Structure formats: C-alpha cells, structure tokens
Amino acid sequence: MKIRRDVFQAIADPTRRAIICLIAVQVMTPNALAEHFHTSRQAVSKHIKILTECELVKQEQRGREIYYSLEIQKMKEIDKWLNQFRKISETQFNQLDNALSTIKKKNKC
C-alpha cells in the first residue's frame, strides 16, 4: 500500500524545506545534499523520497548518479494556493491602515 503524501506536510519539515532551497539553486545528488546536514545519507534520502512522492522534486539518472531538481510547476501550484491568503492579508492590512488614518484625522480636529 502506497502512502499518499500531502505537499504541505512535506514542506512543513525544516529539513525538506532546506533541501528544496538547495536544489532550487542547483541540481544535486543525494550525496551532495547529505553533506549539508548533520544526519545520515539514509535520513536525507527519506526526505528526498517524500519530496519526490509529492512531486516537488524530480529525479534524473545520469550514468550511475541520480540528480534531483526542483519541480517548478508544483511550486507554482503551491504559490497560487498561498496567493489567495496573501490577498486576504493585504486587504485586511489596507482596511486597518484606512481605519488608523481615519482615527488620526479625527484626533487632529
């Protein structure tokens, strides 16, 4: 039975977020990624597996090595989902700013 992974559970983990940041800059092998963490290569591989299952990361075989890169389209989907909350927050901040401006104007009179 294959576990269905949730993208947001995957990016909730700080190690996986760090892996995403690293491969956003350049394509990397599991060994190269593991060098950036104080943990075993197996632990890093488990994180990579979860990111791959969530389609946040894609792998490419080159000879004996596997290289991981960011799956840009999936990241765009996450950004699109988050953008709705940015818009809500922006609206709330604008409303607060307007309310504060109104209060300041009333206090000057």
Tokens of 97: 């700013």
pLDDT in tens, the chain (109 residues): 556 678 888 999 999 999 999 999 999 999 999 999 998 999 999 999 999 999 999 999 999 999 999 998 888 888 888 888 888 878 887 788 778 888 888 887 6
Q: Is the full-model pTM beyond 0.85?
A: no
Shared domain check, 82 and 65: no
Shared domain check, 32 and 15: yes
CATH number at residue 45: 1.10.10.10
Tokens of 33: 């990624």
Range of the domain at 83: 72-109
Shared domain check, 77 and 66: no
Shared domain check, 104 and 65: no
Q: How many domains does the chain have?
A: 2
Burial of 79 (0-12, 13-18, 19+ CB in 10 A): exposed
Cβ atoms 7, 56 nearer than 8 A: yes
